[in-house]
Homo-oligomer: A and B are copies of this chain.
Amino acid sequence: MAGETLVTGKTPKTGKAPVTGETPVAGETLAGYLREQATEFLRSLRQHRESSAEEAAEPALALRAAARRISGALHTFRPLLDADWSDQLRAELAWLSGTLAREHAYAARLDRLIGALHRLSPAGPGAGRGPSVPAQSGGLTVGAAKAGALIERQLTLARTRAHSTALQALGSSRFHAVADGVAVLASEVPLRRDAAGHPLAPFASDVEARLNEAVAALPLVRAGHPYNAEALLHGLAADAAPESQDTPWHQVRLLLRLHRYAQEAVGVEPGHDLRLLGAGQALDRHRDAAEAATAAASAARTPRIAPATAYALGVLHADQRHEVEAARFAFQAVWRRNASAPSDRPVSTP
């Protein structure tokens, strides 16, 4: 409902997607968007193959971005496409971007945690970076250094494994089938015959409605009270209690991205996207901090670690859970600002 209002409300301004008559139709707009993303996917793939291991990160990012956009469009505009074909491609794209994302995620998590340890410890930029750091007086700074070394060891191992898995994946016949599927998209999008003249906006509105519904279910009022101590609630639970409170936020993060891509596909002006971008960045930070907190807690379960190491990991875990809470606060601030902005109010048709 709100979604529909927004899209129709914006229509007269952009001049790109009037509701009647020249509304973007699958045949021209969706196919064009998918072709564009498929081409980008294939271009990044070629670049990734041709680059050295050191230079492969950027094309891998571009490849994943294109894969996510294709997957998003296949999902949002599913009724306009050959359902079996697109469901299958979407599942394979999810496998691919999941596999490619892992290496980057471990590297980013390591950076985040080592950065936090530096902030928490006055030992300077060398802390946690190997045995060359002289031991500090007092147990806790030694603990921070040891915690850093432990996290570095664990996440570097995980990252190396993810790297191998990604390389294997990119050489597999399963991957070649995905690339073939995307190549089909780049030349001819398998639209349903009756779909060619169908408007795209209602599908994008459906996504936005789902997003708004998911956001409405979030505890935004609580998140708007700073230092509500919610994110660390049950932070010492043996089970995944703190993580389960994150789930609806992660869900909104995915819907927000899906919405952003759907807006892209129907050609809504990028100014609108920039505002969504802020909300998306807050939720990315939410996800990153939540996963970093989990990594710190999990490192603390390593057998036979020193108490000082465990203490530092506890501080680190709590620090990242507060980052989670800070990200929720930031999200609600962006979201509420957006909600009260004039361009989001229903515009009565003249």
Taking beta carbons and an 8 Å cutoff, which residues of A are in contact with B? 117, 119-122, 136-144, 226-227, 229, 232-239, 241, 297, 300-301, 305-319, 322-323, 325-326, 329
- Tell me which residues across on chain B come within 8 A of A143, comparing CB atoms: 236
Assess whether A326 is in contact with B227, with CB atoms less than 8 Å apart: yes
CB–CB A227/B229 < 8 A = no
Copies of this chain, complex-wide, total: 2
Which of B141, B235, B325 contacts A236, CB < 8 Å?
B141
Whether the Cβ atoms of B319 and A319 lie closer than 8 Å is no
Q: Which residue of B lies closest to A312 (CB)?
A: B236
Q: Are B329 and A120 in contact (CB under 8 A)?
A: no
Q: Is the CB of B237 within 8 A of A141?
A: yes
Collect the chain B residues with CB atoms within 8 Å of residue A329's CB.
226-227
Contact of A318 among B144, B309, B318 (CB under 8 A): B318
With A307-B305, A313-B311 as given contacts, are A141 and B318 in contact (CB-CB < 8 Å)? no
Max count, chain B CB within 10 A of own CB: residue among A121, A142, A325: A121
New contact pairs (17) apart from A141-B236, A236-B315, CB-CB < 8 Å: A120-B234, A121-B234, A122-B234, A122-B239, A137-B238, A139-B238, A140-B301, A141-B237, A141-B238, A227-B323, A227-B329, A235-B319, A310-B314, A314-B315, A317-B318, A318-B322, A322-B322
Q: Is the CB of A139 within 8 A of B301?
A: yes
Q: In whole angstroms, how far apart are the Cα atoms of A233 and B115 in the complex?
A: 12
Chain B nearest Cβ from A117, distance in angstroms: 7
Quote the shortest CB–CB distance from A10 to chain B (angstroms): 32
Complex Cα distance A282/B239, Å?
34
What are 20 A-B residue pairs whose CB atoms fall within 8 Å in the complex? A117-B236, A119-B229, A120-B235, A122-B239, A137-B238, A143-B236, A226-B227, A227-B323, A227-B325, A227-B329, A229-B323, A232-B315, A305-B307, A311-B311, A311-B313, A314-B314, A315-B318, A317-B318, A318-B318, A318-B319
